[in-house]
Chains A and B, each alone.
Chain A
Amino acid sequence: MERLRTGRFWLGFYTLAVMAFLIYLPIVLLITFSFNDSTIMSLPWSGFTLKWYEKILERPDLLESLLNSLWVALIVTAVSLVLGVLAANAMARYRYRGRILFTGYVSIPFVMPWLILGISLLLFFNWVGIQLSMFTVILSHISFTTPLVAVLVAARLHQFEPDLDSAARDLGCNALDAFRLVTFPIIAPAVIAAGILAFNWSFDAFVVTHFVIGSEVTFPIWVWSALRYPRNLPIINAVSSIIIVVEMGLIFLAEWLRRRGGGERLL
């Protein structure tokens, strides 16, 4: 029995170690080499430098793509938060109608390959006759961040009794006050967490964006095209390092907010 337990412990330990190695080592390497004074990403170490970080500012194409990704992600986050919260709220209240349809829609971003999603969105825009542009990028991102928000917020709502909204109405709130004073405070931690995740998903989106973007460039698209020239590599490293740090910070913030609100663990 004791043997078995230590055996299990070591199995778990190795699994974690391997996963950490696979996930974190490349990130550590990437960040490390962003400070390396060489265009080649290999040892020996050629000395510490911040010049790749300075170079970021000298690349208007890079800056423009970052800016594009930022405002796209902001709009996508705002819209998908509103839609996702409404969807989750409606589903928590009307539990009998449209359940299956909703479940199907909400699982799209988790089960559908990005490639398929990208192709079908492209076909859809062609069919409707919408010119590809940042607008189509925003629409596409909203199509998969809204279910993400809805799932997270619905999970939070389901932890509580369905009658809370009714109780608020019963005690003298109109529909808006009931949402403002009861439903929203309860789902707020999940909403903030969902917003951060939606922002990340949109900011990161490459595959779908690749299909539906016009002549403009978002950051992931810029990276993809810049990779064709090896001399860009250190700059990509530098900018990626910044993004990694910011995103990790956001994710931890989201998780902290969720736990503080008594939610289920996300990670």
Chain B
Amino acid sequence: MSNREITLEVRELTKRFGSLVAVDHVSFEIRRGEFFSLLGPSGSGKTTILRMVGGLLTPDEGQVFLGGKDITFDPPEKRDVNIVFQNYALFPHLNVYDNVAFGPRRHRWPEAKIREEVTRLLEMVHLTGYEQKYPRQLSGGEKQRVALIRALITRPQLLLLDEPLGALDLKIRQSLQLELVDIQEETGITFIYVTHDQSEALTMADRLAVMDKGRVLQIGDPKTIYEQPQNRFVAHFIGNTNMLEGKVAAVEGQDVRVRVPKLGEFWGRPLDGADVRPGQSVTMSIRPEKMRISRQEPERPGYNKIAGVVEDLIYVGVSTEFIVRVSPVKTLRIFAQNISREDDLWQITWDDPVWVYWRPERSLVLVE
């Protein structure tokens, strides 16, 4: 994938609304055919980036390149980029057929070709027979699919999808997620998929950018983002995690000993290349599934361990989630697979005194 050509490059893109910096020097590159996701909480600037890429907003600083060409100041109709809007934006006075045919007609396709393509795409999204219906007669999921093929039909180099499934309920979301990934693979069009749902981004995207307050905090594939978050925000926003805050007591080779007030000292490992010094304030992030739980004190040299009391446990079939209180102000969350042979996991219940333990390299030491 690494030597495929770049479809979109965004360089130092910045947009201000009054004193608010909605997008703050954002840069990234997207490769041809990639499913790229922009992930961030509400108000982090995702839509604003899409609008600048689509030409609906002019950036205050920075540039946008499409297929190597600078399009920063091209009007939207001159860009080979289409948007699926957050609220669909179907034309209410046109039926489904005319909505989908809108782009091709602007591009002066012959009517016979338009008919053929519209019919084919409606079939692809299971809406055959909906040609004469008006947007107000469609359900949310149906509107979403019409909006998608309306943007797709002219085969733009790049398709921008702004939380296209945001307004739908879980069931439809999940089936449309699969449908979208299929469509993307089938058409080979490069997708930028905006969402504030981390699980959606993790499951669908080839790569994603995590955003907060107008800045891109980390770009990478889902696995890297999940296993090696660069900072506290990313660790916290993606998946679940336990955070322990403390000061570096010692550095020994790759490993770092962190003193966490009132809880003790734990070993952890910073990201490659991170500069960690004794006395520095750091946060340890440990994913719930990387911790283990037991009633006996573990006899494992080198493991981090901490004693606590089971405050809550939630049985979810394949796994059990434990909430363990380790101090008056701190609880830890642990996911345990329900197959443990080595342990008496089954017998653990409310108010039991337990030990929580984990390998040092499972606790990621974050500087920011």
Chain A contact residues, CB within 8 Å of chain B: 96, 160-161, 163-164, 166-174, 177, 181-182, 185-186
User: Contact at A170–B107, with CB atoms within 8 Å?
Assistant: no
**Could you write out 30 A-B pairs with CB less than 8 Å apart?**
A160-B92, A161-B87, A161-B88, A161-B89, A163-B86, A163-B87, A163-B89, A164-B92, A166-B76, A167-B89, A169-B56, A170-B54, A170-B55, A170-B56, A170-B81, A170-B82, A170-B83, A171-B77, A171-B106, A171-B151, A172-B103, A172-B107, A173-B77, A173-B106, A174-B75, A181-B102, A185-B93, A186-B91, A186-B92, A186-B93
Chain B contacts for A174, CB-based, 8 A: 75, 77
- Provide the bound-state CA to CA distance between A181 and B101, in Å: 13
B88 CB, nearest partner CB in chain A, Å: 8
Chain B contact residues, CB within 8 Å of chain A: 17, 51, 54-56, 75-77, 81-83, 85-89, 91-93, 102-103, 106-107, 150-151, 154
Lowest 9 CB-CB distances: which A-B pairs, in order? A172-B106, A163-B89, A167-B89, A171-B103, A169-B76, A163-B85, A172-B77, A185-B93, A166-B56
Partner of B91, one of A164, A170, A177: A164
Chain B contacts for A185, CB-based, 8 A: 93
Which residue of chain A has its CB nearest to the CB of B18? A96
13 new A-B contacts, CB < 8 A, other than A164-B91, A166-B54, A169-B77, are A161-B85, A166-B89, A167-B85, A170-B81, A171-B82, A171-B103, A171-B106, A171-B150, A182-B91, A185-B93, A186-B91, A186-B92, A186-B93
A174 CB, nearest partner CB in chain B, Å: 6
A242 CB, nearest partner CB in chain B, Å: 36
- Provide the bound-state CA to CA distance between A161 and B136, in Å: 12
A160 CB, nearest partner CB in chain B, Å: 6
Which residue of chain B has its CB nearest to the CB of A159? B92
Q: Chain B CB within 10 Å — which of A169, A170, A177 has the most?
A: A170
Chain B contacts for A170, CB-based, 8 A: 54-56, 76-77, 81-83, 151
- Provide the bound-state CA to CA distance between A181 and B77, in Å: 14
Q: Chain B CB within 10 Å — which of A163, A174, A177, A181 has the most?
A: A163
- Provide the bound-state CA to CA distance between A164 and B103, in Å: 13
- Provide the bound-state CA to CA distance between A173 and B83, in Å: 14
Chain A contacts for B102, CB-based, 8 A: 168, 171, 181
User: Contact at B17–A96, with CB atoms within 8 Å?
Assistant: yes
A179 CB, nearest partner CB in chain B, Å: 13
- Provide the bound-state CA to CA distance between A164 and B102, in Å: 12
Chain A contacts for B51, CB-based, 8 A: 166
- Provide the bound-state CA to CA distance between A107 and B93, in Å: 29
B95 CB, nearest partner CB in chain A, Å: 13
Chain A contacts for B55, CB-based, 8 A: 169-170
B148 CB, nearest partner CB in chain A, Å: 13
- Provide the bound-state CA to CA distance between A173 and B77, in Å: 6
B110 CB, nearest partner CB in chain A, Å: 16
Which residue of chain A has its CB nearest to the CB of B91? A182
- Provide the bound-state CA to CA distance between A182 and B106, in Å: 13
Chain B contacts for A166, CB-based, 8 A: 51, 54, 56, 76, 83, 85, 89
Chain A contacts for B85, CB-based, 8 A: 161, 163, 166-167
Q: Chain B CB within 10 Å — which of A161, A163, A172, A181 has the most?
A: A172
- Provide the bound-state CA to CA distance between A172 and B75, in Å: 10
Given A166-B56, A170-B76, A170-B82, residue A177 in contact with residue B106 (CB < 8 A): yes
Chain B contacts for A96, CB-based, 8 A: 17
Which residue of chain A has its CB nearest to the CB of B54? A170
Chain B contacts for A171, CB-based, 8 A: 77, 82, 102-103, 106, 150-151, 154
- Provide the bound-state CA to CA distance between A168 and B91, in Å: 9
- Provide the bound-state CA to CA distance between A186 and B136, in Å: 14
Q: Chain B CB within 10 Å — which of A163, A171, A186 has the most?
A: A171
B118 CB, nearest partner CB in chain A, Å: 14
Chain A contacts for B91, CB-based, 8 A: 164, 167-168, 182, 186
Which residue of chain B has its CB nearest to the CB of A186? B93
- Provide the bound-state CA to CA distance between A96 and B106, in Å: 31
- Provide the bound-state CA to CA distance between A263 and B106, in Å: 29
Which residue of chain A has its CB nearest to the CB of B86? A163
Which residue of chain A has its CB nearest to the CB of B160? A170
- Provide the bound-state CA to CA distance between A161 and B103, in Å: 19
- Provide the bound-state CA to CA distance between A172 and B78, in Å: 7
Chain B contacts for A173, CB-based, 8 A: 77, 106
Chain A contacts for B150, CB-based, 8 A: 171
Chain A contacts for B103, CB-based, 8 A: 171-172
Chain A contacts for B54, CB-based, 8 A: 166, 170
Chain B contacts for A163, CB-based, 8 A: 85-87, 89
Chain A contacts for B151, CB-based, 8 A: 170-171
A95 CB, nearest partner CB in chain B, Å: 12
Chain A contacts for B88, CB-based, 8 A: 161
A202 CB, nearest partner CB in chain B, Å: 29
Which residue of chain A has its CB nearest to the CB of B51? A166
- Provide the bound-state CA to CA distance between A163 and B107, in Å: 21
A167 CB, nearest partner CB in chain B, Å: 4
B84 CB, nearest partner CB in chain A, Å: 9
Chain A contacts for B86, CB-based, 8 A: 163
Which residue of chain B has its CB nearest to the CB of A169? B76
B209 CB, nearest partner CB in chain A, Å: 22
